[in-house]
């Protein structure tokens, strides 16, 4: 309830970047490409990836191994868990983009 009241007030006053399209556009351009380059240079993304794989190897994170299957009749491809039975009419692989 208080969140809605606060949002309404910010919208009326155009205080928050969320409600001001010009300010939101300025903020988005500021962070996008330049922030990605900064993360790349300081190795931030690599640190995150390494931490993820450490957690997978230690067993803190359980990965679901998935495979692609496709159906000629539906003309669609899907991801399914590897250990589940493939439905009738589906084949291994990815043939169609969704």
One domain, residues 46 and 21: yes
**Same domain for 87 and 50:** no
* Residue 44 φ/ψ, nearest 5 degrees: -60, -45
* Residue with the two structure tokens 């868990």: 81
Are 39 and 7 found together in one domain? yes
Is residue 86 within 8 A of residue 67, CB to CB? The reply is: no
The pLDDT tens digits of the residues spanning 28-83 come to 666 555 666 777 777 777 888 899 889 989 999 888 888 999 999 888 898 898 88
Residue 16 pLDDT greater than 70, yes or no: no
Same domain, 71 and 52: no
Same domain membership, residue 82 and residue 35:
no
Quick one: 37 and 70 in the same domain? no
Q: What is the rounded end-to-end Cα distance, in angstroms, of the chain?
A: 39
Token pair of 85, please? Answer: 């039975």
Our count of domains for the chain comes to 2
State how far the alpha carbon of 13 is from the alpha carbons of 7, 25, 28, 86, in Å: 10, 18, 21, 56
pTM exceeds 0.75 for this model: no
CA-CA distance, 53 to 46, in Å (whole number)?
Answer: 11
DSSP symbol at 65: P
Q: How far apart are CA 26 and CA 36, in angstroms?
A: 16
């Amino acid at each position: 309830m208080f969140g809605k009241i606060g949002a309404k007030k910010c919208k009326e006053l155009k205080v928050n970047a969320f409600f001001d399209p010009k300010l939101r556009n300025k903020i988005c351009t500021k962070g996008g490409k330049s922030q990605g380059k900064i993360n790349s240079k300081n190795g931030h993304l690599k640190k995150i990836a390494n931490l993820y794989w450490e957690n997978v190897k230690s067993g803190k994170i359980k990965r679901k191994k998935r495979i692609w299957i496709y159906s000629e009749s539906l003309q669609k491809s899907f991801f399914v868990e590897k250990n589940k039975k493939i439905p009738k009419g589906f084949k291994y692989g990815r043939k169609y983009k969704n």
